[in-house]
């Protein structure tokens, strides 16, 4: 005889109802029943329970003109339930409070000394800007720590070549110890951006890749609609995929890594070298490579600066080479390019496409759409909150000190 655990069924159904309301704000009980294929009575009782727990609010009758009684609209409780998101980058810490409907309520940014920061300092920031800001009876559903790094679920270590942390760090366990009563999730930044793009831009393709081009380069892959290998999205280290086995040595140990050839610093170095060797008249010729950013180069391209145009073409050629290899391995339907790299604009995009078509596995490459990300600079923190709500939030238990990696 199979024993069915009623508690698990209830949690699953509550979560389905809650997630559907989150994805379709204003949905009625009748529509919910239709979409979840649960009976109207079951839906009503689950919705009542979610309202009683303050996860959901009844927004009253809708304005749609219809004959007879107008259905009541349901929303997740954006005013009383929150997620705290800590966006940790090379520049500092951004603490953001996000309502469960994914609206940003409050945020603060603090820079820190990259060489001498301490875990206590970070905990204080979180305490001051997130924990103490959740007033009265309001509920903090969870805390997400977003890092531009790989998070190893086995050793519970953060491995990063972008933020300054020690190799054998204990950041995960120390933060968990400090916030022991709150569920804490550690998430990779590219995974959060990718999830925001998938949800908020309504991506229909079930196999897609999000490539984040910043100082470093990262990628998150979705296969059959789900993160490839876990919600922290770290199935690959795409930035350390080699595109030149004789290339320069990377700090990861490999040679000719993508990140060395395509990231923002790489573009600066290329421009500097090209200006020195071939284009001394370039508008970028006397700018130190460190100050040459994606948008600086884009402005020069708009001015028809030959040095900038050549540098962008070279980066596009290398990026296309890497993307074509990714296509041969995973055969995605869509590739989205995000991060500051998107500032390189139309010329960069057209060069990438041209190079992809001239070198790749033609049949596969022809079937891939390539475009820039549509979500804005808040995508990372909103994506983190949404991953937490969809993948980790447990409704039937009081929030306890779970750790999600
Ligand atoms: Zn590398």
Q: For the segment 34-47, what is each residue's pLDDT rounded down to a tens digit?
A: 999 999 999 999 99
Rounded distance between C-alpha atoms, residue 200 and residue 375, angstroms: 7
pLDDT of residue 33: 94
- Quote the pTM value: 0.90
pLDDT of residue 253: 86
Mean pLDDT in the chain?
88
Find the 257 Cα to ligand 1 centroid distance in Å. Answer: 5
- The 8-class DSSP code of residue 376 comes to -
Find the 264 Cα to ligand 1 centroid distance in Å. Answer: 15
As a CATH number, domain 81-192+380-404 is 3.30.420.40
Find the 250 Cα to ligand 1 centroid distance in Å. Answer: 4
Find the 240 Cα to ligand 1 centroid distance in Å. Answer: 4
Find the 239 Cα to ligand 1 centroid distance in Å. Answer: 7
Q: For the segment 312-341, what is each residue's pLDDT rounded down to a tens digit?
A: 999 999 999 999 998 988 899 999 999 999
**Residue 379: both structure tokens together:** 């995508």
Residue 365 reports pLDDT greater than 90: no
Find the 356 Cα to ligand 1 centroid distance in Å. Answer: 23
Find the 266 Cα to ligand 1 centroid distance in Å. Answer: 13
Tell me if domain 6-76 and domain 81-192+380-404 are identical in fold. no
pLDDT of residue 98: 97
Task: Give whole-number Cα distances, 217 to 162, 185, 292, in Å.
Answer: 10, 23, 17
Find the 103 Cα to ligand 1 centroid distance in Å. Answer: 36
The fraction of the chain above a pLDDT of 90, given in percent, is 59
How big is the chain, counted in residues?
405
Q: Does domain 6-76 have CATH number 1.10.10.10?
A: yes
Find the 225 Cα to ligand 1 centroid distance in Å. Answer: 28
Give the CA dihedral 307, 310, 312, 315, nearest 10 degrees. -130
Domain ranges of the chain: 6-76, 81-192+380-404, 202-372
Residue 230 reports pLDDT greater than 70: no
How many CB atoms are closer than 10 A to CB 64? 10
| Mean pLDDT of the region 232-242 | 71
pLDDT of residue 157: 81
**Confidence class of residue 402 from pLDDT cuts 50, 70 and 90?**
confident
pLDDT of residue 3: 57
Find the 308 Cα to ligand 1 centroid distance in Å. Answer: 25
pLDDT of residue 65: 60
**Confidence class of residue 148 from pLDDT cuts 50, 70 and 90?**
confident
| Mean pLDDT of the region 217-239 | 77
Find the 242 Cα to ligand 1 centroid distance in Å. Answer: 7
The three-state secondary structure class of 62 is coil
pLDDT of residue 68: 67
pLDDT of residue 158: 81
Find the 254 Cα to ligand 1 centroid distance in Å. Answer: 5
Q: For the segment 299-315, what is each residue's pLDDT rounded down to a tens digit?
A: 999 999 999 999 999 99
Residue 123 CB burial class (10 angstroms; 0-12, 13-18, ≥19): middle
Rounded distance between C-alpha atoms, residue 124 and residue 142, angstroms: 17
| Mean pLDDT of the region 144-157 | 83
**Confidence class of residue 73 from pLDDT cuts 50, 70 and 90?**
very high
Angle at 213 between CA 359 and CA 117, to 5 degrees: 150
Residue 114 reports pLDDT greater than 70: no
**Which residue matches tokens 């107008």?**
70
Find the 324 Cα to ligand 1 centroid distance in Å. Answer: 19
**Confidence class of residue 105 from pLDDT cuts 50, 70 and 90?**
very high
CATH architecture of the domain 202-372 equals 2-Layer Sandwich (3.30)
Find the 335 Cα to ligand 1 centroid distance in Å. Answer: 22
pLDDT of residue 363: 80
Q: What are residue 142's DSSP bridge partners?
A: 83
Q: Which helix (H) or strand (E) holds 15?
A: helix 6-23
Find the 148 Cα to ligand 1 centroid distance in Å. Answer: 15
Find the 253 Cα to ligand 1 centroid distance in Å. Answer: 6
Find the 259 Cα to ligand 1 centroid distance in Å. Answer: 7
**Residue 277: both structure tokens together:** 């060797």
- The 8-class DSSP code of residue 95 comes to E
**Confidence class of residue 398 from pLDDT cuts 50, 70 and 90?**
low
Angle at 103 between CA 97 and CA 104, to 5 degrees: 40
């Amino acid at each position: 005889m199979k024993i069915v655990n009623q508690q698990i069924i209830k949690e699953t159904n509550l979560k389905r109802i809650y997630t559907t309301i989150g994805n379709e704000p204003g949905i009625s009980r009748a529509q919910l029943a239709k979409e979840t294929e649960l009976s109207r009575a079951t839906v009503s009782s689950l919705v009542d329970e979610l309202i009683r727990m303050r996860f959901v609010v009844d927004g009253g009758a809708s304005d749609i003109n219809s004959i007879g009684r107008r259905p009541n609209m349901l929303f997740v409780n954006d005013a009383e339930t929150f997620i705290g998101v800590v966006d940790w980058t090379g520049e500092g810490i951004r603490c953001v409070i996000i309502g469960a409907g994914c609206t940003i309520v409050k945020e603060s940014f603090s820079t820190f000394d990259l060489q001498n920061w301490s875990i206590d300092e970070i905990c204080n920031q979180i305490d001051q800007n997130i924990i103490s800001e959740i007033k009265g009876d309001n509920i903090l559903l969870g805390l997400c720590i977003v890092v531009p790094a790989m998070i190893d679920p086995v050793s519970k270590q953060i491995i990063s070549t972008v933020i300054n942390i020690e190799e054998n760090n204990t950041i995960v366990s120390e933060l968990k110890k400090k916030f022991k009563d709150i569920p804490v999730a550690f998430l990779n930044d590219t995974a959060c951006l990718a999830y925001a793009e998938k949800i908020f831009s309504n991506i229909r393709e079930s196999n897609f890749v999000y490539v984040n081009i910043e100082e470093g380069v990262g990628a998150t892959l979705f296969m059959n609609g789900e993160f490839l290998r876990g919600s922290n999205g770290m199935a690959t280290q795409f930035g350390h995929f080699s595109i030149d086995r004789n290339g320069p040595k990377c700090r990861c140990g490999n040679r000719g890594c993508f990140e060395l050839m395509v990231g923002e610093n790489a573009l600066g170095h290329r421009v500097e070298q090209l200006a020195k060797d071939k284009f001394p008249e370039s508008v970028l010729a006397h700018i130190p490579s460190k100050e040459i950013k994606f948008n600086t180069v884009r402005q020069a391209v708009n001015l028809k600066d030959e040095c900038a145009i050549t540098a962008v073409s070279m980066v596009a050629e290398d990026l296309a080479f890497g993307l074509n290899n990714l296509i041969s391995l995973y055969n995605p339907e869509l590739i989205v390019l995000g991060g500051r790299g998107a500032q390189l604009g139309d010329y960069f995009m057209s060069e990438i496409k041209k190079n992809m078509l001239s070198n790749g596995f033609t049949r596969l490459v022809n079937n891939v759409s390539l475009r820039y990300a549509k979500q804005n600079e808040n995508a990372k923190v909103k994506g983190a909150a949404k991953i937490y709500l969809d993948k980790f939030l447990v409704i039937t238990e009081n929030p306890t000190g779970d750790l999600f990696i």
